[in-house]
Structure 1
Amino acid sequence: MPMFAYQGVDGRGKKASGTVLAVNKYEAINELTGKGLILRSIQEKKAGLLQHEITIGRAVKLVHFVIFCRQFATLIRAGVQIVGALGILREQTESKRLKLAISDVEREVQSGHNLSVSMRKHPKIFPDLFVNMVESGEAGGNLDDVLDRMAAHYEKEHVIVQKVKSAMTYPIVVLIVAVIVVIFLMIKIVPTFTSMFEEQGAKLPLITRMVVGFSHGLVAYWPIILLILILAIGLSWVGTRGEKARIRMDKLKFSIPIFGPLLRKATVSRVCRTLSELMFSAVPVLQALDVTRKVVGNRYYGASLQEARSMLEQGKLLSEPFRKSGMYPVMAVHMITVGEETGQMDKMLARVADFLDAEVDKSVDQMKALIEPLMLLFVAGIVGVIVVAIMSPMFTLYENFLN
């Protein structure tokens, strides 16, 4: 985002200078004059590395985007003009990035551009699915209904994403804690007892010799181990830069024990719900497949949608490539076939998505009930082995001392 350096005078007649982030110079001037500053000069600065905002993942939080959709729909339904609604939304949103994007869209709409055209200039803020739906709403005169559907769509997506994250977060956190505990024991605790055993000349059992050997290797060769880990991560990152490699990696995610089936259900649900929304708004099926491929978030399924598009261009039905790919549940393929026969594809896809969402809910609950005790047993087992390895020679020394 551009940064502008300014000089001017504040309301008390004192000199004021500094920098401000804004979409463009016009927005920067508006923001500064709104604060009561009289500007003398303002110019864009060339941003260095440290001046760029770093964004991890989505540019705008999903919850903020859902609120934006819902409020936008309410304002349009209440008879507020689009420009006025955008001005209200710009003031109400808590997201700085969304606020700047809305401000730019508002200015574009005031200049006579369509809402969808203006939003398409901010692809990191307004997804392809949303922009295409807005475009269909503008053409059909039902923009408020479209925005309501989009709010419901993203609310459901937010719920599913949070459930999947919650299912995966617990074991990952426990695993990280377990690794930290083991490293601490191996580096700080085990060497202390090893020195004591050597001084006493104790005969160490096999389990103790194994733990001591691992501890010695970790302490003596940790720079090499760290270097190997860094190289492995770097090579993995380089190896997944190509499109084919990324597709393979996305496919590999579904092979992860326990989590793979959960991720597959969530992905298929997203495909079906996105297609449902687009078809409901009369978006051509080929265009709907293109949009879904871009927003599905998985290149493996994106490639399958591209293949489905090619087969549709050859005159095939959508159910046929879905069935041949083997990537979609039999129930989903059957429902799509029924939708093709009855002309209610959007409703059938929505039902498939609802069913899969319910399956994800159920799977997450079952997973939590299963994983929590398993992870506790896992951590207890690792720590228990180390404790037994340390205590066994101590009992031997104690018995020798008594004898």
Structure 2
Amino acid sequence: MMGLFAYQIIDRTGNTVTGRMDAEHEFAVAARLRRQGYTVVDVTPVKESAIRQFFTFRRNVNIGELSLFSRQLAAMLDAGIPLTRCLNTLSKQVTNPTLARAVAETARNVEAGMGFSDALRGYPDIFPALYTDMVRAGEVGGSLEEILRRLSEQLERDKQLRDSIRSATFYPMVVLCFAGLVVMGMMFFIVPIFVKFFPAGAVLPLPTRVLMSVSDSLRHFWYLWFAVLAAVFFSARFYVHSPAGRRSWDRLKLKLPVMGPLFQRTVIARFARTFSTLLSGGIPVLQALAAAG
């Protein structure tokens, strides 16, 4: 589970820098800062009251919001506005509170002497490795504005690709949901009516008896069905989010009869586009392969 930690470090010039970072635990924060070349002085968790944590809603940052942020930042930098001023301005303009907080914290870290890409690495759930690697290449090569524009275009293409997939799968999902509603309606309303037509003691085929038993249990013990389905859903969700479950789920998606080829072409297209963007941004081949993977 991600948490917020306050840290104090000494940068390469000997200055003391303070800031905040999202991570799993304080050891991850310290390790990340040491990899960036800083001397870690202190890392402490930022404690919030239980009431505030209960009422705090953490909103995810989607691709469209990150693309817009990158485009706006590139335009402001191209106009000659200093980076810290750009970040402070954008932190007040973005509508997503999670992104606004991350940008504000990044601005404070940059003002304290931390590199822009190093400050972004403190929020891996918002800025992925692809993003920070590209920003790092732009900082080194002096082409940060161009890199941010390329990132914005890349994110926009990814968004269009995801929207196309959603559009392609929308109709089958609607049909499946409608079919499920029809089956439930038959179980709750139609099957009980037909049961009355059968004489008492009549020997019925096995499929008919199974159908009648399922209908009867759904009408009288619906809460048990609900509990079982909820348990199956959350168990499957927990398994899919584990490394082994994720691999199994991805293999299954690629082997689906109709949607499998679509998923495969989507993955190949995203990899090729991401790899091309990294190479054009000056990232070495091996590092680009790792980031694209």
State the TM bucket, normalised to the shorter chain: 0.7 to 0.9
**C-alpha spacing 1:50/1:284, structure 2 compared with 1 (3 Å):** same
Shift of 1:168: 1.6
Task: Indicate the structure with greater helix content.
Answer: 1
Counterpart AA for 1:269:
A
Which residue of structure 1 lines up, in the alignment, with residue 137 of structure 2?
136
Which residue of structure 2 lines up, in the alignment, with residue 28 of structure 1?
none
Shift of 1:224: 5.7
Provide the rounded CA distance (Å) in 2 between the counterparts of 1:226 and 1:246: 25
Deviations 1:168-205 (A, max 9, x none): 2322232123212221222123313432x248999999
Q: Is the 8 A contact 2:58 2:98 kept in 1?
A: no
Structure 1 unaligned segments of length 5 or more: list them: 3-22, 25-42, 294-403
Q: Is the 8 A contact 2:102 2:123 kept in 1?
A: yes
After TM superposition, the score normalised by the length of structure 1 is 0.55
**C-alpha spacing 1:86/1:231, structure 2 compared with 1 (3 Å):** closer
Shift of 1:162: 0.8
Q: Check if 1:95 corresponds to 2:96.
A: yes
Which residue of structure 2 lines up, in the alignment, with residue 46 of structure 1?
49
After TM superposition, the score normalised by the length of structure 2 is 0.73
Provide the rounded CA distance (Å) in 1 between the counterparts of 2:204 and 2:80: 83
Deviations 1:237-288 (A, max 9, x none): 5655653342122111111121111111111111111111111122122222
Provide the rounded CA distance (Å) in 1 between the counterparts of 2:171 and 2:263: 16
Report the secondary structure of 1:244's partner residue: helix
Q: Is the 8 A contact 2:67 2:152 kept in 1?
A: yes
Deviations 1:65-100 (A, max 9, x none): 111111111111111111121122122212111111
Supply the RMSD in Å over aligned alpha carbons. Answer: 3.3
**C-alpha spacing 1:256/1:149, structure 2 compared with 1 (3 Å):** same
After the TM superposition, which residues 4-403 of structure 1 pair with which residues of structure 2 at under 5 Å, given as runs?
A: 45-47=48-50, 50-55=54-59, 59-195=60-196, 197-198=197-198, 212=212, 215-216=215-216, 218-219=218-219, 222=222, 225-226=225-226, 228-233=228-233, 235-237=235-237, 239-240=239-240, 242-293=242-293
**C-alpha spacing 1:168/1:69, structure 2 compared with 1 (3 Å):** same
**C-alpha spacing 1:238/1:78, structure 2 compared with 1 (3 Å):** closer
Shift of 1:217: 5.7
Deviations 1:343-399 (A, max 9, x none): xxxxxxxxxxxxxxxxxxxxxxxxxxxxxxxxxxxxxxxxxxxxxxxxxxxxxxxxx
Deviations 1:106-132 (A, max 9, x none): 111111221111111111121211111
Identity among equivalent pairs (%):
31
